[in-house]
Structure 1
Amino acid sequence: MRAAIYVRVSTEEQAVEGYSVGAQKELLQDYCLAEGWDVTAVYEDDGYSGRSDKRPAYRRMMAEMDLWDVVVVIKMDRIHRNSRNFMNMMDTLEKHGKMFVSSSESLDTTNALGRFVVDMIQRLAQLESEQIGERTYMGMREKAETLDSADTGKRTMGFTPPFGYRLRDGALVEDEDELPIVRRMFEEYSEGRTVDQICYSLNSEGILTRRGNPWNKRNMANILHNPVYAGYMRWEDLLIRHRATAPLTPGEFNDVQNRMASKVRDPSKRTVHLIPTEDDFLDEF
């Protein structure tokens, strides 16, 4: 029997659960030796989530099924954490006369009972994965809701800083080269220039995005709609104030939002996301 060993670990799992790819390979090689199987291929995805099948080693393994007869993993969730992806894989293996073995769970697909048990365990693994995702989301939501009043200089949610800003010790800080460009974008748009005109003038001057790409309607609109430039970070429906330099007042930002919405021809698509101004705070008293 020709065996293909598949090992996987994501960064979070390795840190929390101690699943190293090296330990998995060693255990599986010993398992195949005890079964009398020849290990003809080893496939390793280090740092990839099991929720997606878009993993380079996994895809290479499935494309090279002529090299092996059985795929061996240490646990079922090493190869898939999504039951649909797992069952799609099992269908493919069955069509090609291949087998699947989970060594630590003593499961294989050579009989009907094994296939039934494998399906049940995989569904439980997906349930656990979804519950972890729900708990992670709730934790992030709770952090976002309390961050505005937190006595900390960071006030971020671990996001990639937008054009005009950087992160320093977890806190949002001004990028002295980029933020003046952002000021120019808002000023020119407020003066009546179109997004296309602003993009053209910046690109012609060699002023490009952080990644060195030309400005276009999409990436320019992302900046003009981002409340971070008026002192607020947005996380879903929440607004969180930050302490970095802001090139706009909330009122100036709202004026730009109204101007952009007025240019949308279809009234049903004129969604305007405004942010609180000083007048809004005064109205509360």
Structure 2
Amino acid sequence: MTKKVLLYLRNSADTLRTACADSQRHFAEIFMRKNGWKLELICRDEDIGEVVFTAQPGVHKLLNEIEFGSSDIVLCHTLDRLCSRLPDAARLLHDLTVNGMELWAADPGIRIQTKDLIGYYCNDPGKPLAGFQYFEEMPDGLYDVNDLVPLPYGYRYTGAYDSNGTYVFGFKAGDKECAKVVRRIFRMYADGMSPAKIAEALNAEGIPGPRGGKWRDTTIRGDRNRRTGILNNEIYIGRSWVPGRNYDSAYATRIVSDELWRRVKLRQGLAARGPVGTP
């Protein structure tokens, strides 16, 4: 019996590193012909930024088809073109399995299974998830509009229109006032002030920290190797890790200049060798 395919396409804003929707369809059709499958339906979204998973028109259509349609396979070009986050992929794969459907990626031409997700999304071998096949119960991130993943300090959720004129909520944008605080933190550190002194100064001025709490030196300092903390989060220079593509650029969300970022990295490197700047 010929298997019916639902093809999901996400157009790319960066066609130098990621295939555009037309290219994705071209390679998917070659893959389907090779396997003797039949294209039943196409669901497509525009790459307008970090968006609530189910709010995207193409994904919304896909989820309806999973529940009520007759397709046997959901096919995407690469898994990150469909789901950029582990919780989204895990829940989607669960829903597909419950409905007797399979998830395939045309590149590299494999069926995606639950045991594959951890290795695909978790690039930090120190995380507990890396050694197990079970997912800790947690919020669904961008899977549910009502359960939004917290954004890094300096950003907020807003809406954007896709190419079809559909308003999609969940687009990540800079928060003007908090962005000023982020730049100030970077400048203060680059000029020699310690994270503890920076936190003390911000609290003295009554500036709310992330989630509305008090500023702590650890919130600012973080861990350079693990890319945590205000001073190490590359989202501030418009970079974020995307599975399968290493780093993705979203310069519209940039808050800190490359020059200021380099100054901070230089001081961190010097600080790692011994006491530097304000104690």
Which protein, 1 or 2, shows the higher relative CO under an 8 Å CA cutoff with sep ≥ 6?
2
**Is the structural similarity TM-score above 0.5?**
no
TM-score for both structures, normalised by structure 2:
0.43
Q: Which has the larger radius of gyration?
A: 1
Q: Whose helix fraction is larger, Structure 1's or Structure 2's?
A: 1
